[in-house]
Structure 1
Amino acid sequence: MADYDVVIIGAGAAGLTLAHRIGQSNDRRGAALRTAVLEPPPGPWTPPPRTWCFWEAGPGPWDPLLTASWRDLSVVGPDGARHRSPARPYVYKMLRSTDVDAHVRASAGPGVEFRPLYARTTRDGPEHATVQAVGPDGERSELTARWVFDTRPPRPPHGGRTRLLQHFRGWFVRLPEDALDPGSAVLMDLRPPQPPGGVAFGYVLPLSRREALVEYTEFGRTALTTAEYERALADYCERCGLHGAEVTASEQGAIPMTDESLPTRAGRRLFRIGAAGGATRPSTGYTFSGASRQAAAVAWALERGRVPVPPVPHRARHLAMDAVLLRALDSGRVSGADFFARLFAANRLGDVLAFLDGDTGPVREFAMGLTTPVAAMSLTSADHLWYTLRSSLAGALPGGASRRRPPVVSRRGPARPR
């Protein structure tokens, strides 16, 4: 008999949302799935606190924990033109990881335990999977489980055609006097100097009339140094008129933006969820909504005794469009600032958010595409199609590097273990 029904490696957004869903399922069933959440012991492996932003239509399950939310959004073009509109039907929301962590621990119930273990290796098996881990004092542990879900950040991408980073640094600031509108957020400000490839922008998420999260972000091949981010943030605060801002905290990170395929199934009883399982939308870097959809599907399958294969939370056509955009940015075929300025100037922000969340149809998506640099994007689409066909043909020929395909993950329902 395995030690656990479920082992979750990692207590970030994906791990916590899955643990939360399993705890809720245990309450409904009246019988607990024995679940262990493995998190690195305090030390160099401990991830720093961070914020998670997402949007959803109306109220949601995390609303009691929200740091802030906004119904009115704006985008500022490179020329300073401001495009402002309601996010309707969506609400843009912010969570702090520390708040989610405390809530999940308090509400998960006796079936879910958090263990301070650093997972080193995993091993698949016909009846159970095995996780080898190290504890706070260096002692080795070996845990077995019917199902293992690995949320650890994916390795640096080596597949796919385009590999960019969304890299950023943010300041939590406090102003000496009231100067902000807590009900309105700047989602993207394209006035910062633009890098030669990709795009640079800032944004301002007010938390009160005197407090805000201000971030500087780039899409590009390499991250900046902390000193370079600091200079960019100081310049952006001056540009926004946030004079005399006191920095109370900071956050920094880098999110892979790639067209590499990230399958969710790693074995008969091993799965990947979160960024490691393709939950990140490649064109935006947003992950929380995709990870939440995966967690809901996994908990649903576990509750019914099915094989809990996590779904890929983004449709194939949206991933193809993301690949085209990333290629257009990386090749320099389009100016990122021009692309996003046109997109947001010609479309209501709520409609753009619907597209970015995969909640639009092909007709609406085609119409939105016509508001972007059409010639450059059409050329990149043709280039991407040719690259895809050529890669498929090469893989089909004898000796082709791509003849062995990754496991197919069905969006309609879980498959049987193989």
Structure 2
Amino acid sequence: MQHYNYIFTGSGLSALMTVYEMIQSGKFVDKSILLIDQNLKKSNDRTWCFWDNGNLFEPVISKKWDIAYFANENFQRNLELNPYQYKMIRGIDFYNLVFEKITKHKSIQFHNEQVLSYEQLENHCLVKTESSSFSCDKIFNSIFIPEVVKTQMKYPLLQQHFIGWFIKSKEDTFNPNLATFMDFSIEQKGNTRFMYVLPTSTNEALLEYTLFSADLLPKQEYETEIINYIKKLGITDYEIIAKEQGNIPMTSYPFWKHNTKNIINIGSAGGWTKASTGFTFKNTIKKSKQLTQFLENETDFRKFHKKDKFWFYDLLFIDVLFKNNALGSSVFSSLFQKGDPKLIFKFLDEQTSLLEDFSVMLKCPTIPFMKALISRLFRF
């Protein structure tokens, strides 16, 4: 049985980002690392977007926008993002970037197989696949098991679920310099529903029909709404270049409580997704950097996570939307109708002071959040 210092069960964003940070740090060249996944990461299976005021992963940024559009049934606004930009990365470009670095390190290997089980034993950890077993000192697990959250009621679970179409139209319809961040003008049907549009040229764009809700929809319902929105834009002749779909857990469930001394849960399995927005990429950058720095000085994974004020803010937000899912449009509209976009994005990036926090939160509907706060205080 081959032994490694570190094994990653799963090679999604969180695993690849953590390995990338370990390589960048130069502090783990003497460590043997194994990534195990049944997916070879050879296709463009997803798109990540994030706002940034720096040069994060600039070589693989496929498109960026300086202005974002927000709308509901009553108003619309173009959000000036400066000093931020809204940026897009294609999954395949990120995979290629990281695996190119991995291939330069003989101590880092990839095993293409499904993980069946993993466990911490007395002196080491054990990972089993369909045909092999591996031992290691530490496990980084990114395999998300929804039942962990669904079998409890203290921390509700919403899902950011969507289907997106990359289309190319005959008409020049889109403004390639304007990203539609959230368009709530579509029918809400008792949920939080919006369209998300990322134009890459005057006649090409990714359109996603997105919900923040507890339950998924039949596939046809997402696609019908995309077709309706395309008609609303005045597009009559187009072709579908590609499709994507996703389902991102939105919860403040304390996944870190399942960490052991030698096994840590990362990515969605570790609560790395920003609960209030479902945004993953930027939060994973932050968490992977923290974890890499932690590994340089610590050995007990139970010490890694620390709750902060933003975890509690997200918890209240999920409580509000879980109890009344139709409030999403009014909550986000209250923020973006008159609020400073730069401050809102800074808040969502978890970089604001307490005074700035209150400046943002005071724009939200007061009564639902006060009820959620009172209810939550009795549930701790």
The normalised TM-score by structure 2 is 0.91
Shift of 1:145: 1.3
Alignment partner for residue 231 of structure 1, among 224, 229, 243? 224
CA shift, 1:311, in A, is 4.4
Alignment counterpart, residue 368 of structure 2, candidates 376, 379, 383: 376
Corresponding residue for 2:308?
A: 316
Q: Distance in 2 between matches of 1:307 and 1:39?
A: 25
Aligned to 1:133: 129
Q: Partners of 1:183 and 1:326 in 2: how far apart? A: 32
> Partner of 1:70 in structure 2?
65
Q: What is the CA–CA distance in structure 2 between the aligned matches of 1:371 and 1:305, rounded to whole Å?
A: 42
In the other structure, the counterpart of 1:8 is 8
Structure 2: how far apart are the matches of 1:30 and 1:46? 26
- Paired-residue identity, %: 26
Q: Which residue of 2 aligns with 1:248?
A: 241
Would the aligned equivalents of 2:4 and 2:34 in 1 still touch at CA under 8 Å? Answer: yes
Deviation at 1:308, TM superposition (A): 6.8
Which of 162, 171, 174 is residue 168 of structure 1 equivalent to?
162
- The aligned residue for residue 107 of structure 1 is 101
- 8 Å contact kept, 1:120–1:132: yes
Structure 1 residue aligned with 2:19: 19
Q: Is the 8 A contact 1:130 1:145 kept in 2?
A: yes
Aligned residue for 2:319? Answer: 327
Asked whether the equivalents of residues 185 and 204 of structure 1 are also in contact (C-alpha less than 8 Å), the reply is: yes
State the match for 1:405 in structure 2.
Answer: none
**Is residue 11–residue 39 contact of structure 1 (8 Å, CA) maintained in 2?**
yes
Aligned to 1:192: 186
- Opposite residue 134 of structure 2, the aligned amino acid is L
Equivalent residue number for residue 396 of structure 1: none
Report deviation, 1:359: 1.1
Say which SS state the counterpart of residue 335 (structure 1) adopts: helix
Task: Show the counterpart of 2:142.
Answer: 151
1-structure distance, mates of 2:300, 2:172: 50
Matches within 5 A, 1:210-225: 210-225=203-218
State the distance in 2 between where 1:291 and 1:94 align: 15
- Unaligned 5+ runs, structure 2: none
Q: CA deviation at 1:347?
A: 0.9
Contact 2:260 2:300 in 1 (8 A): no
* Residue 17 of structure 1: how far off its partner (Å): 0.8
- Partner-residue secondary structure (3-state), 1:99: helix
C-alpha separation between the residues in 1 aligned to 2:53 and 2:39?
37
Specify the alignment match of 2:37 in structure 1.
39
Q: Tell me the amino acid that sits aligned with residue 223 of structure 2.
A: E
Alignment correspondent of 1:409: none
For 1:171, what is the secondary structure of its paired residue? strand
User: 2 CA distance for matches of 1:118 and 1:64?
Assistant: 31
1:98 pairs, out of 87, 92, 95, with: 92
The 5-angstrom pairing of residues 51-66 of structure 1 reads 51-60=47-56, 62-66=57-61
- Partner residue of 2:270 out of 270, 277, 280: 277
> C-alpha distance in 1, partners of 2:114/2:132?
10
Query: Are 2:42 and 2:92, in contact at CA under 8 Å, matched by a contact in 1?
Result: no
Letter in 2 for 1:352: I
| 1:264–1:271 Cα contact (<8 Å) kept | no
Give the paired residue count. Answer: 374
Structure-2 change in CA distance of 1:334 and 1:253 (3 Å): closer
Deviation per CA, 1:321-362: give whole Å up to 9, x if none: 222222222222862211111111121222111111111122
TM, length-normalised to structure 1: 0.83
8 Å Cα contact 1:279-1:312 kept in structure 2: no
2:80 match: 86
Where does structure 1 lack aligned partners over 5 or more consecutive residues?
135-139, 389-418
Show structure 1 runs of 4+ deviating over 6 A.
45-48
> How far has the Cα of 1:142 moved from its partner?
0.8
SS in 2 for 1:37: strand
Amino acid at match of 1:22: M
